Amino acid sequence: MHSFSSVGGAIATGTHGSGVGNGNLSTAVAALELVTGRGDVLHISRADPRFEGVVVGLGMLGITTRVTLDIQPSYQVQQDVYVDLPWEAALGAFAEIVSAAYSVSLFGGWADATLKQVWLKSRLPEGSVTPLTMPAEFHGAVATGDKVMSPAGDDLDNTTVQGGVPGPWSERLPHFRADVTPSNGDEIQTEYFVPLEHAVSALTAVRALGERIDPHLLVTELRTVAADALWLSPANGRDPLAIHFTWHNDPEPVRALLPEIEAALAPFSPRPHWGKWYTLTAEEIAAQYERMADFRALADEFDPRGVFRNAYSERVLGLA
């Protein structure tokens, strides 16, 4: 069974890719049709002052039944993979590294001296299909001509075409091919967003837990997202670094580790990925979202009987 997200689920949780200039997927929404908790059919677009509260709605406001997305002409992207980026080099030039291509992902563990892979996804100039020439070395990491397998499992051949071969964005920006199980397939995921300006301090704080984290980790991925104005978007009002953990499917040790990681990140104003595992409380989360009270008011307006509320909405949003 493949586990790609639905458009509705991706939008409702602020699902993202990477790139300092790329907003999350929810930012492409221009209008929505929603069946609210009152049973009304609501059409809402950017002109409505409530729109920015509705898009990342976590399913708490209603059921999205139609979506209007911004589109643009297709474009070409190439992926180039480098291996063994020293952590020291990564931390020494972090802002430069994550800005080095249209979309940049760093993969690895926390206790090692190097990050195992850097993926640079470069957007080609409009109309061009000529491969860009990339350097043989990238901040001490070395270009690999070999195809890399899943970052979350060396024996899993599920990645899209790499090796600097241009192709349509839809076959290069996703890490994983659409015809196979993505990532590992037997895993737990966690992700925290911290302001990019705190990246080095936040990563250093998590690295101090590296020996505790790595035995339970399949891989970490570091990405960036452009700031937006959606009330419950993890990128609301700040350009974040997204610190992701793909865990072995061992719930107990993972559950035990999360509060330690959250404590390490606490000085850096972390926000959790709504669709992944975390133990931050509704109070801690509300402290990171200026518009949380407005969102709760919106939930009361759209769903006065609490049709869409559940244990999750109570735990993370305080909506009982």
Residues 55-84 that bind ligand FAD (CB under 6 A): 58-59, 63-64
The interface region with ligand FAD, picked from 2-10, 85-93, 126-134, 253-261 by CB under 6 A, is 2-10
Residue range at the interface with ligand FAD (CB under 6 A); choices 8-16, 37-45, 165-173, 211-219:
8-16
Q: Does 121 bind ligand FAD (CB under 6 A)?
A: no
User: Residue 140 CB, nearest distance to ligand FAD (Å)?
Assistant: 26
Helices (H), 132-281: 199-207, 210-213, 251-265
Letters for 203-242 (x = contact with ligand FAD by CB under 6 A, - = none) are ----------------------------------------
Q: How far apart are CA 48 and CA 113, in angstroms?
A: 50
Q: Is 190 a binder of ligand FAD (CB under 6 A)?
A: no
**Binder among 182, 240, 270, 272 for ligand FAD (CB under 6 A):** 182
Q: Which is nearer to ligand FAD, 15 or 224 (CB)?
A: 15
Query: DSSP code of 282?
Result: H
Instruction: Give the C-alpha separation, 43 to 57, whole Å.
Output: 15
What residues does 187 pair with on adjacent strands? 248
Residue 8 binding ligand FAD, by CB under 6 A: yes
The secondary structure of 156-173 as a DSSP string is ---BPP-TT--EEGGGTS
**Residue 155: CB minimum distance to ligand FAD, A:** 17
**According to the binding rule CB under 6 A, does residue 6 interact with ligand FAD?**
yes
Binding mask 11-30 for ligand FAD (x = CB under 6 A): -xx-xx--------------
Among all residues, whose Cβ is closest to ligand FAD?
Answer: 9
> Tell me, what DSSP letter sits at residue 221?
E
Judged by CB under 6 A, the chain residues 257 through 316 that form the site for ligand FAD are 273, 275
Looking at the Cβ atoms of 84 and 181, the one nearer to ligand FAD is 181
Token code pair at residue 57: 């709605």
Task: State how far the Cα of 302 lies from the Cα of 307, in Å rounded to an integer.
Answer: 10
- Minimum CB–partner distance for residue 246 and ligand FAD (Å): 8
Does the footprint of ligand FAD cover residue 5 (CB under 6 A)? yes
DSSP state of 176: B
CA neighbor of 51 nearest in space, from 70, 25, 71, 32 = 32
Beta-carbon contacts of 275 under 8 Å, excluding residues fewer than 6 positions away, are 5, 9, 13, 15
DSSP 150: B
Minimal distance in Å, beta carbon 24 to ligand FAD?
A: 7
The residues facing 189 across adjacent strands are: 246
- Cβ proximity to ligand FAD: between 6 and 133 the closer is 6
Among 26, 36, 105, 183, binds ligand FAD (CB under 6 A): 183
Work out the number of other CB atoms within 10 angstroms of the CB of residue 192. Answer: 27
Q: Cβ(117)–Cβ(221) under 8 Å?
A: no
Structural element, H or E, at residue 94: helix 94-98
Binding site for ligand FAD (CB under 6 A): 3, 5-6, 8-10, 12-13, 15-16, 58-59, 63-64, 182-183, 189, 273, 275
